[in-house]
A and B are shown apart, each in its own frame.
Chain A
Amino acid sequence: AQTVTQSQPEMSVQEAETVTLSCTYDTSESDYYLFWYKQPPSRQMILVIRQEAYKQQNATENRFSVNFQKAAKSFSLKISDSQLGDAAMYFCAYFSGGSNYKLTFGKGTLLTVNP
C-alpha cells in the first residue's frame, strides 16, 4: 500500500523568508502524481502544486516550487517570500491511475508565518 509521510507536524517562518516542507512517499508504481494542498483556517482544500512522476522538471507555481527526487521518493515544497496568507495546514498527497486516482494523504504540516 502507498504511504505518504510528512515528518514535520509544525513549521514556522518569518514573513518574506523561505521555508521548505518535507514529504516522502512509498510506492511500487511507476506512473503516479504528487500534490500539495493547502488548508487555511477556512477549511477549504486548495491545490497548490502538482508533479507528474514521469516529468524530471520540478513544478513551479509563482512563489511555490517543489524538489522532486524520484529515486529517493521525496517531494518537498518550497515557499519563497512567505506571506501572512500562506499560514495554513499543508498536505502532501499521492495518487496513481492504477488505484482509480484515490488520493493518499500525509498527516499534514501546520505552517505559521510570523510578521
Chain B
Amino acid sequence: DAGITQSPRHKVTETGTPVTLRCHQTENHRYMYWYRQDPGHGLRLIHYSYGVKDTDKGEVSDGYSVSRSKTEDFLLTLESATSSQTSVYFCAIRGDSSNQPQHFGDGTRLSIL
C-alpha cells in the first residue's frame, strides 16, 4: 500500500473556525492532490501540488488554501470554515511516470456545525 497518512481522520468544528488537514507521504512522490467527496458529485479536485512550493487550483478551490513546504507534507486549510465545507476529504499522491495512477489516503470526515 502507498504510504499516505491523513490526519485527523475525523473532525467536528464550528462555523468560522480555521481548520487544517494534513497529508503525509513516505513515497517521495512529486504530485499530491486534495479532493472532496460529496453525495451525487463523486470526487472533485480542490488543489494540487507538482513540487515543493508549487501548487495550483482545482475545480472547487474557493474557501481553501494549501501549502507544501516539503515533499512529504501537503496541508489543506479552511481559513474560516462554513457548513458547505462539510465533506469527506481525500489526499492522493502519484509518481512521475506517465502511467502512474493516483493512490489515495483513507480520507478525513469533516463536519462543520
Query: Does A pair with B?
Result: yes
For the complex, what is the distance from the CA of A102 to the CA of B94, rounded to whole Å? 10
For the complex, what is the distance from the CA of A101 to the CA of B30, rounded to whole Å? 11
Q: Which of A33, A37, A97, A102 is packed against the most chain B CB atoms within 10 Å?
A: A102
A-side contacts of B50, CB under 8 Å: 100
Is the beta-carbon distance between B42 and A108 smaller than 8 angstroms? yes
Are A101 and B104 CB-contacts (below 8 A) given A43-B88, A91-B42, A106-B42?
Answer: no
Is the beta-carbon distance between B41 and A107 smaller than 8 angstroms? yes
Is the beta-carbon distance between B94 and A101 smaller than 8 angstroms? yes
Answer whether residue B74 sits at the interface, using C-beta atoms and an 8 A cutoff.
no
Chain A residues within 8 Å of chain B by Cβ, number? 21
What's the A-B contact tally at a CB cutoff of 8 Å?
Answer: 52
Chain B residues within 8 Å of chain A by Cβ, number? 26
For the complex, what is the distance from the CA of A97 to the CA of B56, rounded to whole Å? 15
**Of B11-19, B20-28, B95-103, the one touching chain A:** B95-103
For the complex, what is the distance from the CA of A71 to the CA of B15, rounded to whole Å? 48
Are A50 and B99 CB-contacts (below 8 A) given A43-B88, A100-B50, A103-B92?
Answer: yes
B-side contacts of A37, CB under 8 Å: 104
For the complex, what is the distance from the CA of A91 to the CA of B44, rounded to whole Å? 12
> What 0/1 readout, one digit per residue, does chain B (30-64) give for beta carbons within 8 Å of chain A?
01010100001111110010100000101000000
Determine how close the nearest CB of chain B comes to the CB of A19; give it in whole angstroms: 20
Q: Which residue of A lies closest to B45 (CB)?
A: A102
